[in-house]
Chains A and B, each alone.
Chain A
Amino acid sequence: MSIAAVFMATFRRDLRLLARQKSDWLNPLFFFLVVLSLFPLGIGAKPNLLREIAPGIIWIAALLSVLLGAERLFKQDYRDGVLEQLVSARLPLPAYVLAKMAASWCASGLPLIIVSPLLALLLGLSESAFVAVVATLLLGTPLLTLLSALGAALTLSADKGGILLALVILPFYIPLLIFASAAVEQAAFGLPYGAQLAIIAAMLCLALALVPFAVFKALKLNVG
């Protein structure tokens, strides 16, 4: 099978699975909203304070929800032996990995962008800050998906799941968190934030080039 055929077959299959198992994409989304509404409850719902901390909490909630959504990414294929078959059939595994990640982004990244107008209402964001939130989410969530897929692949056959995945991958999220929340902050003050977006895009390109191969390697060593 060619690379494109493997990609399309995996991508279609995963989208079909998502359409049937709705909790796979609904749960991360509601997790995101619940975490976001915890902050005003914990800190106090003063509009000025909320507006000030909004960039940070939006991004922390987003990266946690993508991280938790990614844990099941390869689990099912690992348990029922699909991965083993793929490895031994010598199919282009990076294409499979990319398709998996693309489908995963549709499940955990895309919904966040779709509900982002709600955030603007909840946290009292200005129009320019809202545009920056959407722009950073568009560029940043694919990067989150890539990195958390790497974590999911590394910890695939480990005894301890969720916490380990978070421990391993969260430090790698730090640059994205810094630049994304800085971009939203700049936008809230009406300053240009093109530089931050460019850096996020550069990080995304780098990750897109390297991560599929690292994931491929991690999957292979877990399948053994």
Chain B
Amino acid sequence: MFKWLDPYAKPQRLYAVCGAWQRVLMPMAWLTLLIGVVWGLGFTPADYQQGDSYRIIHIHVPAAIWSMGAYSSMAIAAFIALVWQIKVAQWAIGAIAPIGACFTLIALFTGSFWGKPMWGTWWEWDARLTSELILLFLYVGVIALQNAFADRETGDKAASLLAMVGVVNLPIIHFSVEWWNTLHQGASITKFAKPSIDPSMLWPLLICMLAFALLLAALTCLRLRTAILQHEQHRSWVRDLAEEPTDAKV
């Protein structure tokens, strides 16, 4: 495992690798996003029950899924950082956390806009909504902790430890919220009972999910590159890079 990780642990090498990935991933992300969103919002048939307002699913569901995906990847990075003491993995946490928080916010807002015409309310204390809200709080905690220290290194380490603790707690929080919800208001669960989705609606949704995944990966590469430059700004290779304007622009 360590042998496999080792080449990526070197900041300079990872900077180059992330650059290469970013050049591939970013155009793919925008392309799939464009296709998925235009197809989903413009060309799929309207739902027989929900009319046109269901179309927000193409943004809501991918954002919700990848808000959780971002947290898992953050936890994996935290695990690598804690077990193998790899610094770039710590920096990756700072790179992923704000993206994940944004995805969570998008999921919450689009869900709210969807909920208003469908359930007649902007907010419902439903298990999934509450879990997503708590996920946002966990992201905010990680980001706040990371930025709270005068010494950057300590902030990175503390944030990775918190991300690990969070991932142990996440299932407990999730199931307790679900349990709490069934105790208080069982009826709202049926609102979520999914009708099987028509293939003509499924394809754009799948493309949007892929697009959000690509976007997450591409943005992570971008942010991680910036973090590497910031942390390594006193190293000679970064200075060399800054003096070669053609290479730095990539």
A→B interface (CB under 8 Å): 150, 154-155, 157-160, 164, 167-172, 174-175, 178-179, 182, 203, 210, 214, 217-218, 221-222, 224
**Could you list 24 A-B pairs, sorted by A, with CB under 8 Å?**
A154-B158, A154-B161, A154-B162, A155-B148, A157-B149, A157-B150, A157-B154, A158-B148, A160-B148, A164-B144, A167-B137, A167-B141, A167-B144, A168-B144, A170-B137, A171-B137, A171-B141, A174-B173, A174-B176, A178-B176, A178-B179, A179-B176, A210-B168, A217-B82
Q: Is the CB of B149 within 8 A of A159?
A: yes
The residue on B at minimum CB distance from A166 is: B141
Complex Cα spacing A175 to B174, Å? 9
Q: Smallest CB–CB gap between A102 and chain B, Å?
A: 21
Complex Cα spacing A160 to B154, Å? 14
Task: Name the prevailing secondary structure of the B interface residues.
Answer: helix
The residue on A at minimum CB distance from B140 is: A167
Q: Smallest CB–CB gap between B159 and chain A, Å?
A: 9
Check B138 for interface membership: any CB of A closer than 8 A: yes
Complex Cα spacing A145 to B149, Å? 24
Check B196 for interface membership: any CB of A closer than 8 A: no
Task: Name the prevailing secondary structure of the A interface residues.
Answer: helix
Q: Smallest CB–CB gap between A83 and chain B, Å?
A: 14
The residue on A at minimum CB distance from B174 is: A175
Check B243 for interface membership: any CB of A closer than 8 A: no
Check B106 for interface membership: any CB of A closer than 8 A: no
Q: Is the CB of B149 within 8 A of A175?
A: no
Q: Which residues of A contact B155 (CB under 8 A)?
A: 158
Q: Which residues of B contact A178 (CB under 8 A)?
A: 176-177, 179-180
Complex Cα spacing A222 to B157, Å? 9
Contact of A172 among B82, B151, B165, B177 (CB under 8 A): B165
Q: Smallest CB–CB gap between B60 and chain A, Å?
A: 23
Q: Which residues of A contact B137 (CB under 8 A)?
A: 167, 170-171
